[in-house]
Amino acid sequence: MLELYNPTGLYNFSEIEGTHLSEKTDDDVKIITRDRVVTMPVYPSVILNKFKNAEKLELTNSIFETIEVNAFESCKNLLYLDFSNNKFKRLENDLLRNCRNLTLLSFYSNEVSKIDENAFINLSSVQTLILSYNPIEHLSKNIFKPLISLIRLDANYMKLKIIHSYSFGGHRFFTTFNLIGNQINAFDEKIIDNTAIDFIDVRSNACVNGQLKDTSIMRASLRAALRICIQNYNTVSIKNATLLITETIARNSNVKQEFNSKIKGNVRKITGSDQ
């Protein structure tokens, strides 16, 4: 591990100062971490542009809010990225598109309320994704589909209410789903059918009666443990389908009435002209 010192702190800098260990260069740096509390609203591109062979980036408690454009252009060797306890509010499209070898990604305890549809594009090697303690209410369609190697997803203490299968792809390695302390009232059982999930923790959610004594709900008993959640999801789906059908019928009825009115109007015009 190489220790560097920058006298101005991690704030709006374009260069990193420090002294390498004997016979070491920037190319030898594998781990980048923070050893003191810093305040820095924008994560800078200079870090990985300078240390292109870094494999582990651990910058927690740094008050980051945004990421500089192209800050992760040189991240092909990065395996571990931990942005825990920062102030990020949104995960934007193509954020880490070049980090194809990343295996662990953590935004634990930030202020993320929105994840863009393509935020995880190209992250086909990620095995562990940690999003716990963020005020996320909804997971959009196909949001996790690019994460084809995903094994574990931590989404504890967020604001999720419904877990849809459409957020996932065919994740054949996905086995562990942690959802403690959300507001979940409905769970799509297709997630069980379409993944390898065999461990789920849904304690302290709306559709789970009390605290589950056994947090290790294995695959064989998943449906039984989530019975109420699954029933609620099916009910919501039926209601939505009924609403859609009703709206379609009403729309078609309006179109038909409008069409008939136009026909009658044209008939009157033609009749008047013939006379």
- Mean pLDDT for the stretch of residues 61-82: 93
Structure tokens given for 16: 């990193």
Cβ contact 145:170 at 8 Å: no
Residue 258 lies in a domain: yes
pLDDT for the residue 213: 46
pLDDT for 274 beyond 60: no
pLDDT digits (tens, 9 = 90+) for 221-234: 888 888 899 999 99
- The domain tally of the chain equals 1
Q: Has residue 259 been placed in a domain?
A: yes
| Amino acid (1-letter code) at residue 173 | F
pLDDT digit string (tens) for 107-153? 999 999 999 999 999 999 999 999 999 999 999 999 999 999 999 99
Given this model, what pLDDT does residue 236 score? 76
Q: What is the pTM of this model?
A: 0.81
Q: What is the CATH number of the domain that holds 115?
A: 3.80.10.10
Please indicate, yes or no, if residue 53 is contained in any of the structural domains: no
Rounded to an integer, the average pLDDT of 155-175 is 93
Structure tokens, 89: 């509010």
Instruction: Tell me which residue range forms the domain holding 171.
Output: 88-274
| Rounded Cα–Cα distance for residues 275 and 267 (Å) | 12
Domain membership of residue 72 (yes or no) is: no
Q: Please tell me the least confidently modeled range out of 19-23, 97-101, 184-188, 189-193.
A: 19-23
| Rounded CA separation 106/109 (Å) | 9
* Cα distance between residue 66 and residue 94, in whole Å: 14
Buried b (16+ CB within 10 A) or exposed e, 21-30: eeeeebeebe
60, part of any domain: no
Q: Does 13 have pLDDT greater than 60? A: no
Instruction: Report whether pLDDT(160) > 90.
Output: yes
Residue 37 maps to a domain: no
Q: How many CB atoms are closer than 10 A to CB 97?
A: 17
- Find, among 195, 163, 197, the residue nearest to 179 by Cα: 163
Q: Specify the range with the lowest mean pLDDT, choosing from 37-46, 107-116, 158-167, 255-264.
A: 255-264
Q: Is the predicted pLDDT of residue 157 greater than 50, yes or no?
A: yes
